[in-house]
Chain A
Amino acid sequence: MDVSTINLPLAVLLPFVGAAVVAWAAHFHRVAAAWLAGITTLLALGVLYPALIAVFAGETLIQSWVWMPAIGLDFAFRLDGLGALFALMILVIGLLVILYARYYLSAKDSMGRFFAYMLTFMGSMLGVVLSENLLQLMVFWELTSLSSFMLISYWQHREDARQGARMALAITGGGGLALLAGILLLGQMVGSYNLSDVLLAGEQIRAHALYLPTLVLIAIGVFTKSAQFPFHFWLPNAMSAPTPVSAYLHSATMVKAGIFLLARFFPVLAGTPEWSWLIGTVGMITLLVGAFVALFQHDLKGLLAYSTISHLGLITLLFGLGTELAAVAALFHIINHATFKASLFMVAGIIDHETGTRDMRRINGLLKYMPHTAVLAMIAAAAMAGVPLLNGFLSKEMFFDQAVVASGESLWGQAIPVMATLAGVFSVAYSLRFIHDVFFNGEPVNLPKMPHEPPPFMRIPVDVLVVLCIAVGMLPMFTVAPLLAVAVQGTLQGVPPEYSLAIWHGFNEPLLMSFIALVGGIAVYAVRKPLFAWYESRVRGQQLRHLYDWKIDKLLQVARGVTRGFDRGSLQDMLFWVLGFTLLMGTAGFLSSAAPLLGERVLLPLDAVSLAVGATLILASLLSVVLHRERLIALVVLGAVGLVVSLAFVKFSAPDLALTQLSVEIVTIVLLMLALYFLPQYTPRTSAVWRKWRDGILAGLLGLGAAVLALAVMTRETATLADYFVTQSVPGGGGANVVNVILVDFRGFDTMGEIAVLALAGLGIFALLQQIKLYAPAEDSSGRAWALEANPFILQTFSRVLFPLMLMVAVFVFLRGHNLPGGGFIAGLIAALAIVLQNLANGIGWTAQRIRSDMHSWLAAGLLVAAGTGMVAMALGYPFLTSAHTHVHWPVVGDFELASAMFFDMGVFLVVVGATVMILVELGKLNRLDAPTPVLQGEV
């Protein structure tokens, strides 16, 4: 297969594969994770390289496969100029951040987890910018929200990290829902979810009646993701993430995803007054609010966070202006902001790393401690302020120019350049604060660490980015021009307008505005002391974040209120309502039916044995009700009930059910014994007498109803679905055991889901039990001391002899399962019991030494084998999980029907063993923590 026809999906999926590899490799060597993450990124760049060449030559690449045509979902990727710009930013800055993070993370932090999240996020971002199909784009969009949640909450032990991550997820996830609705509307209007069609349908969409709702919904998605007012507050709260994450998410990727969509839909949605009002106004407010609040942040990263919000507002505003030249300026600023903001975040991380704090009131005068870093930071901050000869200046000039062009006649229009200049003033002021407070302004105050230069490799990414800032600022035509040109072409989907990247345009209005911003910024910074005091007393505390918290609290209150209205926390109450309603409906059903109660079938003759067995069942069930307060005895009696039920299954020709019932019965006893150890031995009496009568009558009536219903059904001849399966079992599934063939073949997909749930349940229980410490009782319920001998010798010996025999039975039941009673599930339970028996008789430690494989890998292997079997069928061109079967002649066994479903059954077997043993043994380990040693009688 020619790689150049699949390189787009390959580049997107590579980081996801890399994430798994990195997480695995980190077990062996910490730094290997960083190396592998870097190599994955380079590989993705390499795979994309030929495609980028083609795009720079003016092509648009589309690689598409039909996926689910019924809902318009294709597996489709697209690379044009806009996608190329973003893909390059994601990968190049990603590479620098990986190098930086390698030195940033301390020995306590898990490298594998970090780089695995990082690569997952990178892949999701690439998916967003390279998707041709909008539904597929949506999937990657949600993935960025999820993976950024993992990144922001990377330091899981910190409350603020968890809270910041939750907030980011709630806001961006909520916006994602709005975006999905917008995209669905868009697809309805155009009749296709493919960007190629949507981009051509701009006229049609703008004239459509649903244009406005679509625009608003998509805008909400964009605003939440790109931290636009009033959704901006999640971004500063996400600053509790490790700094490499901030450098990556808030410069080149996450927050730019929303901006990317603005650019993507620019030719489709822009150019209407609605667009300009909505996008432009929000952009302007965000620009001003961000720049204003940034000045008052004492936290280094807080300042950068609000500055990011402000710059995002600037880009949004430019797109909102709606002209082609404004879009050019926006794209240019996207590139410039990514370079200087990434380097500034990295500098903030270095300072935090080397001084132990980010509080600008304490870190002062760092110039002499870290001169190299200081120079880098000053250049990057100057670029942020828009100082000439740096890249920020060029795009800011373009912005001012567009602000002047847009001003027009109206009063509101006149305000645009004024507000733009005002934002420029604040942006200069906070950049100046970043430089002056941190690197000058006297001596450091009370730092936890003695500051010094970071390791050289931690600085290299900053070096690279700052050199880019200067190179673009001085020689734009030789550096950024080609990239900007293709990006503009890709965004506008047409002939790009004339624009000039020159540094000097003569004395004009933008230059004047730049000058005012610089001088004004210095002036504002000069009077900062009274300004700070005013801000502290008046503005602080008026934050949107409090409104958010209040709303979330209210929401939870309402939800709790509704829940409490129905669920009073009493199982009896809940059962009463559910069962009472069932009884009502059942009675109504009986009464409304005119048919005779019993059917025509002749009843089977009654024999004495069945009578005895039936009596046992009934009496044992009754006994378990009467004795339910004594939990151990109730358990014994329940064991008898289960046994008799399985006997009944045998009698009425359901051997599969009987075998399953038996195995489950034993496992249940072991499970409950394990739990009972930590629980009270007796259930206290709590219910009032009238409740007992009420519940007893209800239960009796329901039992009667169920019995009558069963009789009514069983005495009738009915054609059931079973006949179809019985006749199709051998020709369609290659097995004579209908039950097993249904499980592994006809309903294979269900079983696949069930074993996945089983594996998840096993893992969930494993995770839940990890931190639990339970105190074991020192004596039994009657106050007797426990026996001295932990594992009686006779028991040990016999259980060891039995182990291979039980496994042999399991193998036998498994192999035979496709044709006669048995199969992977029952065999799995038997094998699991064999292992559990060793744990019971010989102890957990003894068994763990001999069965070394971890049950996690059994679960994983089982799921892989089961899914792999299905995949093989797909690879051969059949639907997922299609089964094939053939006859083989084995030397001893004889003629044998071999079906591919047996491999699937193998997966079921492995998962059942893994989950059962894992759950039981983990429960068994509970008391190994802090268990007080029993006081032995006679020894004291």
Chain B
Amino acid sequence: MLLSLLILLPLIAGAGLTFIKHNRSLGFVGTAVSIYCLVYTLFLLFTNTPVDLTVAYPWFKLGDTQANIALSLTGLGAAMVLLTTLVYTLLFAYFYTIKKNYKNSFYGLLLIAFGGLNGVFLAQDLVLFYFFWEIVLIPIYFLIGIWGSGKTKIAANTTFFLYTILGSMLMLGGIIYIGFYLRPTSFLLTDVVKVTSSFGNLQTLAWLFLIAFAIKIPLFPLHSWQPAVYKTSSTPVTVILSALMAKMGLFAVVNWLLNMFPSICPNTDNLLYIVGFGLFYASLIALTTKNVKKIVAYSSIAHLALIFMSLYAQSEMGTKGAYFQMFSHGIVVLGLWLSVDYMQRKYKLTDIKSISGIASIDPCIAIFFTFFGLANVALPLTSSFIGEFMMLNALYTYNPILCVIGCTGVILSAAYTLRLSTALLFGERSGSVSKKKQKFPKTLYLIFGVISVIILVLGIYPSVLFNLFQN
């Protein structure tokens, strides 16, 4: 019951905001719910509460296989829930500050996605996991469709929806195969692992799951929905997509794919080469593309590909680094998107040539943006450094070629991030950047400050997070 609160509270509050008509803007409900969830998660994680953090109730039975409502707040899942609540709190706080009044249903849909995300990270039952995996998609679909911008909005949104549904359908096929041919006693992770490990040849099955997860992350050949969607959707949605939904895919790889099918195909290296190529390719596009949102989107593809590669590097260091980076990337990307959003609102930023010289009139955002950019490049003392260093280290011992690809990605990431910040922050003032000094809202100091502090603390004292994984 304790854990289902993390799912039910946002779901119910979200449904309430979406469907009940109110003339007043009720965005603060979202802020309140997310702060509550954050505090609650912290409470569950850091006080040694004498409650068992795993629950399982029978749900429904089909044939011989029992589906359960099973939730667990452990290991990587716990870290991801913490990330979700943190990102949501900061996100809502940011939008509360800049006072952009969206309709109540906007906040409501965001909260429904919140509940779904928590569900994905908590679920320990395959069917329940699938439920949450899909439910996240629906609010996001409406958020992009109604509040997105640009002519290609509907097309991009449809592509996104169909792509993800295709993945989900393949996964559903896999679930049906597991449940009704392999016949475990229940759909609980532990029971499923028992049957999949005793059956030898299940590679087709592993691919069904891998494709579903790869679409969500997104990995190289299946990524084509992503840049268009990031470009057209409004910033809160982009934050959710890149900071949290991409993590859903990676988390699913860790929690389900790696547990059920330790090896996907006889030669995993070939798969990793493809992913590595995607990393390189996305970095190159980020280096040449002009739209700021697209640059961040492609940079995201590159970073996530590196995480995926090191998950398969078969070393504890690689796995730990990947976990760490999953958390860290969520925070860094949140900072990047929020500062891009701020500049977009204030200076009508669209592509890299549209404005320049912000640093001279609004130094605060320049500092923060540079800081987040450097964190994205994985500068030492920032959290990304720890993660990327461990991952590259593990990749080197596993397969030096992959490590070289990864390092190239890091170098290219420095190149495109610096290109971006140089173009926007320095040089002659142009675009809608006027001569007058701009005031930076006080509460934004707090929000951007909190994000920066988290990045720094994790960069200097990473054991906080490592302890959490070991729980």
Same assembly: no
B residues whose Cβ falls under 8 Å from a Cβ of A: none
